[in-house]
Structure formats: structure tokens, C-alpha cells
């Protein structure tokens, strides 16, 4: 009984090319009480592997968080299977704005302590007492209200390439870092302002809205379905699009273009650009923004040293990596000291006063 991926990314990519079938990229999440996450995980793998599902899915006692792709022809069968699971019946599936058959190349379903690393003790507050969900139309109205504070619940490298007009974009590396930062900076407005939040697909706001209500914020709202669902509704209903730039996504596409605005710059030369890449040096893999000219000049590497190492024969590179972990720069997400045009560190209120538009 196969319970784990057995093909390399290269082998899977070749099979997808040969199949010649369109695939759909989608995401969903659900908070629910899962008694035995490992058993649930194994059942999912057996059923989804049979449908040629690929992706990254986290399962925990508190629920499921999935980003995945599957053949378009299997979409109805996939939904039918989800409907056999009580807490997933009729769940909203966020279909990607831009499709790419190679968005995922492996099926990875992992059991985790939490489906989003938030650093919170869920026993200290009511996680079901969430903020008010609003659709795209209501969201647009709220963020035009002078009594609203709009907060981006994503990380700096996500908001750097795209965000809503006039949003506060916390300068943080992780979701868990953002919660105390936002609470502290907005503590004077717990009762007199609307706290409106958004993220990629909605999952971070689910927990954050309950946390902020627990901390005393009275008027808490969250964008239903996040940026992905917002964009679908804007396109479907002809609404005014308030999002500027690209939406960062956690698959091999790395982003979806929502508007034509380019609000970021190449971290190496400073030219307007908004596409992330990973350094080609296997001992680095730093995530950063690199324009096409720099990619060609630097051979897809983030530094001269990485370029030199990447040019070595594979066995020499492997020998250099032996016994060594990846550089800590990998966790800096575009903030490595050697990148001359990395994003400046600024207070979140300063950021909001001068939006990157």
C-alpha cells in the first residue's frame, strides 16, 4: 500500500507533459476536530493519489490546510470525495486565478501540530469567536471608510509585491510575529476603529480575528476567502479592484498577477520587477526578487559566491555541502545583507502612511 510519493519532481513533470491534460490549482482550509490526524492523512493520500492529486497539505488535530493541483477532468470526483467527509462537505475551493500544470510536482500530506504556525495557545481563548466575514463588495466599502484600519496579515515578502491600497503591511517574516506587533501598534484603537484583515486565502485571518477579539478589539472583520476569492468576485461581478500588484502564492508559480502595477524592485539592481526566485545554489536557495537581466548575469544566483559554487561540477558542490546545513540566509526571504535593494525595515504605521503604489 503506497502512502508516500515515489516519483521525483523531474519524473512527475515528464508524466504531466506526456499526459497533455489541463490541471487545476486550488486551495482550501477547514478548522475541525480530527481525532486521529495520521489515520486521516493516510486515507487522504490513498484517495487523492488515485485522482492524480499533487500538492502540499497539512493535517492536524485542529483541521486541514491544503494547496494542490489535479487534472481538470478529476475535479468533480475530487469534490464528490470531499463531500463524503462531514466537515468538508460543500467547502469553498479557491480556484487559482492563473493556472499552471507544473504548480505542484509531488503529493505531500504532512501531520503537523497546527495547520498554520501561529504560536498561540488555543486553550486560552475561543478560536470559534471569529470576526465578521465580508465579501468583496462589502470589503471595498469598508476599506473606503475613514473609520477603518486595514491590515495585511501576510509576511513582508508577500506584501512587497502586492497589497490592498492603504493597507498596513507589517514588516514581519512569519505570521506568528505579526500578531503581537499588530496588537501593540493598534492598541489605542480597540474600540473606535474597524479592524479589517485579509490574507491569501483566508486561513490566517480565521485565527487572527478570534485572537484580536479576545484581546479586546470590538469591530473585527475579515475578507472571506482572502485575495484569491476577492479577485474571483471582482472579475465575476465587475467590481472595482482595490488590490495593487501581484498575489504571492505558495507553489511553483510563486505569484498571480491581480493588477498591472509593479510595486517591487529587483533586489540586485533595483529595476522595477515583482517575480520571486530561489537561488540556484543548492546550499542557499534564498527566496528573493530577481529581474530577467540579473537572472541571466548571475545564473539565477543571489550572490557572486553562490554563482561560483553553482558553476562547479555537481560532485564538487555536493562535497562542499557535506555536513553543512543550508545558510541561515534562506530564512531571510529577500533580506540577506548582500542584497543591495532589499526592502527597507519600517514601522507598520510608517508603511501605511506611504503605501507602495
User: Which one from 199, 266, 291, 306 is the annotated catalytic residue?
Assistant: 199
* Partners of 109 in beta bridges: 57
Look at the block and give the residue holding cell 501540530.
113
199 in catalytic set = yes
Cell representation of residue 172: 514581519
- The alpha helices in 3-162, defined as continuous H runs, are 9-19, 37-50, 75-82, 136-143, 156-159
Per DSSP, 180 falls in state H
User: Comparing C-alpha atoms, which of 147, 135, 126 is closest to residue 213?
Assistant: 126
User: Comparing C-alpha atoms, which of 244, 278, 97 is closest to residue 160?
Assistant: 244
User: CA–CA separation, 336 vs 338, rounded Å?
Assistant: 6
User: CA–CA separation, 150 vs 136, rounded Å?
Assistant: 14
Cell representation of residue 254: 510563486
Number of helices (H) and strands (E) in the chain: give both, helices first: 12, 14
Cell representation of residue 153: 496579515
Helix (H, G, I), strand (E, B) or coil at 203: helix
Active site amino acids: 199
Amino acid at each position: 500500500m503506497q502512502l508516500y510519493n515515489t516519483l521525483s519532481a523531474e519524473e512527475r513533470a515528464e508524466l504531466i507533459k506526456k499526459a497533455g491534460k489541463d490541471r487545476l490549482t486550488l486551495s482550501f482550509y477547514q478548522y475541525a476536530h480530527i481525532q486521529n490526524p495520521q489515520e486521516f492523512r493516510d486515507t487522504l493520500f490513498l484517495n487523492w493519489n488515485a485522482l492524480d492529486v499533487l500538492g502540499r497539505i497539512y493535517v492536524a488535530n485542529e483541521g486541514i490546510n491544503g494547496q494542490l493541483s489535479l487534472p481538470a477532468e478529476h475535479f468533480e470526483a475530487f469534490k464528490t470525495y470531499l463531500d463524503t467527509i462531514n466537515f468538508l462537505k460543500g467547502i469553498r475551493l479557491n480556484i487559482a486565478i492563473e493556472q499552471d500544470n507544473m504548480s505542484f510536482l509531488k503529493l505531500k500530506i504532512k501531520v503537523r501540530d497546527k495547520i498554520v504556525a501561529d504560536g498561540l495557545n488555543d486553550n486560552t481563548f475561543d478560536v470559534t469567536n471569529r470576526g465578521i466575514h465580508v465579501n468583496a463588495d462589502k470589503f471595498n466599502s469598508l476599506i473606503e471608510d475613514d473609520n477603518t484600519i486595514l491590515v495585511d496579515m501576510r509576511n513582508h515578502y508577500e506584501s512587497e509585491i502586492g497589497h490592498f491600497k492603504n493597507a498596513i503591511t507589517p514588516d514581519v517574516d512569519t505570521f506568528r510575529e505579526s500578531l503581537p506587533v499588530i496588537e501593540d501598534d493598534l492598541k489605542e484603537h480597540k474600540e473606535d476603529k474597524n479592524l479589517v484583515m485579509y490574507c491569501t486565502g483566508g486561513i490566517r485571518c480565521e485565527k487572527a480575528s478570534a485572537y484580536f477579539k479576545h484581546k479586546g478589539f470590538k469591530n473585527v472583520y475579515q475578507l472571506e476567502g482572502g485575495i484569491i476569492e476577492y479577485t474571483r468576485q471582482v472579475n465575476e461581478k465587475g467590481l472595482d479592484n482595490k488590490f495593487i500588484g501581484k498575489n504571492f502564492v505558495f507553489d511553483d508559480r510563486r505569484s498571480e498577477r491581480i493588477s498591472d502595477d509593479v510595486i517591487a524592485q529587483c533586489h540586485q539592481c533595483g529595476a522595477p520587477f515583482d517575480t520571486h526566485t530561489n537561488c540556484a545554489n543548492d546550499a542557499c536557495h534564498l527566496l528573493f526578487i530577481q529581474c530577467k537581466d540579473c537572472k541571466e548575469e548571475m545564473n539565477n544566483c543571489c550572490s557572486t559566491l553562490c554563482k561560483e559554487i553553482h558553476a562547479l561540477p555537481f560532485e564538487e558542490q555536493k562535497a562542499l555541502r557535506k555536513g553543512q546545513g543550508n545558510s541561515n540566509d534562506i530564512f531571510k526571504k529577500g533580506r540577506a545583507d548582500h542584497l543591495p535593494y532589499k526592502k527597507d525595515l519600517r514601522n507598520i504605521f510608517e508603511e501605511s502612511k506611504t503605501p507602495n503604489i
